Structure 1
Amino acid sequence: MQVTEARRTATPLPAPIGAEITGIDVASSPSESDYEFMRDALHKYSVIVLRGQDITPQQQQEFASHFGELRTSFYNRYGVADVPALSIVSNLKREDGEHIGIADAGMLWHTDGSYLKTPDMYTVLYGLQIPHRDGKALGDTVFSSAWGAYDALPDDVKQVIDGRPAVHSFTAHIEKKRAKGQLKRAPLTAQQRDALPDVEHPIVRRHPVNGRKCLFVTEGHTSQIVGLPEKEGAELLDFLTEHVKKPEFHYRHTWRKGDLIVWDNCAVQHLAVFDYGDIPRRLHRAGIAGPVPV
């Protein structure tokens, strides 16, 4: 059902999640009422899309700050100049051959920052250079509903996982990428590794705004389930991470230059599609810190 307030509209996308917001120009300093409208839509649809935006990094930072406290990435070597709260996601390279941004972001299904004690609540991503081949946009981002996945689980599985924690590990994430030959970023320093110890979060997380139960284990960052024998835990984790990938929970976003997307990291997991090779791609990302998952 389309939601309209004055000039603003939130139109559900043809998918289980997602809505396109029209009638808001971010460069023209949206009102607090506009932001309230967008936050309400985000908590209802999990992903909101604003097309055709033409904004500076400073304007993206200001926009993102209305969704919560901005978090500067520990990969600050990939920060946007003079706007450290924004990170570059890109396959472009400098003259010395190093990528200008994170080139392997999103190769495995994940939710941003789940390896932190307080994971990212929201992510704001802005498309500056979108790769094309034969007139077709490449580099889609696929989102999957974490509460849709939880709701669809068999009751006996829900009984096993409700109240049980799992381990999220950035170190394990990097090793998974290395094993798959996907690792393209600069290695972590010893100081960065020490600042990212493994953490435990509930497998089933309650959304802090609307209270819905969300499946909070991912292919990318969850390394084990706590309190089960190793083999049983590994089999259950494989089942859950495959379950949340099912197409019936998906919205697949095909990027256009000027797209500004906000998604809810409690409510969705996402995956980047790497089908563009060396065709230039550049996006700017902002992360908003969230609460401790419960």
Structure 2
Amino acid sequence: MTSLTQLSQAIHDAPRWHQAEQLQNPEEISIIPLHDEALGAVVFGLDARKAQAGETIHRLKQALAEHLILIFKKQSLDDFQYLAFASYFGSIFRPSADNPVLATQSDTGTPPDVIPVSNAVGQGDYTGHGELSPHADHQWTTQPSFGSLLYAIELPEDGGQTAWFNTIKAYDALGKDTQNQIDQLQLITYNPFARSQNNKGTGGYGDTPYYRFKDQPIIGHAYPHPLVRTHPESGRKALWLNTRSEVELVNYEDQAGNALIQKLREHLLKPEFRYEHQWEEGDIVFWDNQVTLHSRQPFPSDQRRLLKRISLAGGRPF
């Protein structure tokens, strides 16, 4: 079954609005902000297996734009139900075959709709068990994903927490001089999977440099995007920079560019921009990939961890 057929089947099998017992009452659902955290809100009472009313999806979209991550508790879904729920919020992210991403398949050149993010052999084995530094997904593509949903199926006893970083707050906390300095800059984020393929690796960041100096070769494609990104719904500005992969400021002197990126990356890691999620089985976290970063704590290699990710298509950053 191809990924397109999988999505079509999910929509075909989804609960129907005209069947009252399958349409969830919007009054059963509450959205509670994490007031003491840098971002996030918890959604209580929602059953993602059910058809959702238009007012519910509208509320959730507004809440995501405001709080940047939404946490749905106690879900129990198969892949089709998960896809059907995710598709309320947008199209599935499908990068071009010449821009490899996590879980790109050799036969199609694109990832599956539902990606198992796991260290368990046969369940994906895409991200191992080590630490993952703060990053936004798919920054090196022409149209990075707007958001992703991550669903916890099986969790280790120790570690494996995921943290999210609010890059709107990070931008707002910069001094005016720094904001003025960076507002019109463009940044190229180079594809770590292209580098890994070039080095005959298995994918991921590995030994990727932190900055590309102009005497170094370009590996993969180079797509300039704004260093300061504007959120398409709220209009808020965000510092759109990850902390680990190879980047380059366009038309900027190498040493000065490297120093500026180092300074901004240190700023992004301040604890006041960060929320760390303690996973429970059945959690789905839905995040806005346009204005957040996320990272993962390591966990023991002999403990299984299986989550499933669905990424949603976005537009060209501006």
- Please state whether the residue corresponding to 2:294 is helix, strand or coil: strand
* 2:174 pairs with 1:149: no
The structural deviation recorded for 1:67 is 1.1
**Shift in CA distance, 26/129, structure 1 to aligned 2, threshold 3 Å:** same
**Residues of 1 paired with 2:161 and 2:113: CA distance?**
24
**Residues of 2 paired with 1:224 and 1:139: CA distance?**
31
Q: Which residue of 2 aligns with 1:62?
A: 84
Query: Which shows bigger deviation, 171-180 or 52-61?
Result: 171-180
Contact 1:78 1:88 in 2 (8 A): no
The structural deviation recorded for 1:178 is 2.3
**Residues of 1 paired with 2:254 and 2:262: CA distance?**
12
Which of 106, 110, 118 does residue 143 from structure 2 map onto? 118
Count of matched residue positions in the alignment of Structure 1 and Structure 2:
266
Q: RCO greater where, 1 or 2, for CA within 8 Å and sep 6 or more?
A: 1
Cα shift readout 1:158-186 (whole Å, capped 9, x = no counterpart): 11100110111113885683228xxxxxx
Higher strand share: 1
**Residues of 2 paired with 1:110 and 1:254: CA distance?**
19
The two structures have a TM-score, normalised by structure 2, of 0.78
Residue 28 of structure 1 aligns to which amino acid in structure 2? K
Which of 224, 227, 239 does residue 200 from structure 1 map onto? 224
Contact 1:146 1:214 in 2 (8 A): yes
**Residues of 1 paired with 2:259 and 2:166: CA distance?**
22
Query: Which shows bigger deviation, 29-38 or 255-264?
Result: 29-38
**Shift in CA distance, 78/19, structure 1 to aligned 2, threshold 3 Å:** farther
Contact 1:111 1:218 in 2 (8 A): yes
**Shift in CA distance, 214/78, structure 1 to aligned 2, threshold 3 Å:** farther
**Shift in CA distance, 65/172, structure 1 to aligned 2, threshold 3 Å:** closer
**Shift in CA distance, 77/280, structure 1 to aligned 2, threshold 3 Å:** farther
Map 1:1-294 → 2, pairs under 5 A:
6-13=27-34, 14-72=36-94, 74=100, 75-77=103-105, 84-94=112-122, 100-104=124-128, 107-133=132-158, 138-171=159-192, 177-179=205-207, 197-294=221-318
Residue 237 of structure 1 aligns to which amino acid in structure 2? I
**Shift in CA distance, 273/174, structure 1 to aligned 2, threshold 3 Å:** farther
Q: Which runs of 5+ in 1 are unaligned?
A: 181-192
Query: Which shows bigger deviation, 20-29 or 145-154?
Result: 20-29
**Shift in CA distance, 260/76, structure 1 to aligned 2, threshold 3 Å:** same
**Shift in CA distance, 234/152, structure 1 to aligned 2, threshold 3 Å:** same
| Percentage of identical aligned residues | 27
Residue 20 of structure 1 aligns to which amino acid in structure 2? V
User: How big is the alpha-carbon RMSD for the aligned residues of Structure 1 and Structure 2?
Assistant: 2.5
Query: Which shows bigger deviation, 169-178 or 102-111?
Result: 169-178
Contact 1:164 1:202 in 2 (8 A): yes
**Shift in CA distance, 42/222, structure 1 to aligned 2, threshold 3 Å:** farther
The structural deviation recorded for 1:106 is 7.2
Query: Which shows bigger deviation, 47-56 or 216-225?
Result: 216-225
Residue 57 of structure 1 aligns to which amino acid in structure 2? D
**Residues of 2 paired with 1:174 and 1:11: CA distance?**
42
**Residues of 2 paired with 1:88 and 1:11: CA distance?**
29
**Residues of 1 paired with 2:227 and 2:124: CA distance?**
35
Cα shift readout 1:31-85 (whole Å, capped 9, x = no counterpart): 2222111111101100000010001111111111111110246524499xxx931
Contact 2:94 2:313 in 1 (8 A): no
**Residues of 1 paired with 2:305 and 2:179: CA distance?**
40
Residue 44 of structure 1 aligns to which amino acid in structure 2? E
Residue 222 of structure 2 aligns to which amino acid in structure 1? D
- Please state whether the residue corresponding to 1:27 is helix, strand or coil: coil
**Shift in CA distance, 222/214, structure 1 to aligned 2, threshold 3 Å:** farther
**Residues of 2 paired with 1:217 and 1:166: CA distance?**
8
Residue 254 of structure 1 aligns to which amino acid in structure 2? Q
The structural deviation recorded for 1:141 is 0.5
**Shift in CA distance, 106/27, structure 1 to aligned 2, threshold 3 Å:** farther
**Shift in CA distance, 171/100, structure 1 to aligned 2, threshold 3 Å:** closer
The two structures have a TM-score, normalised by structure 1, of 0.84
Contact 1:26 1:53 in 2 (8 A): yes
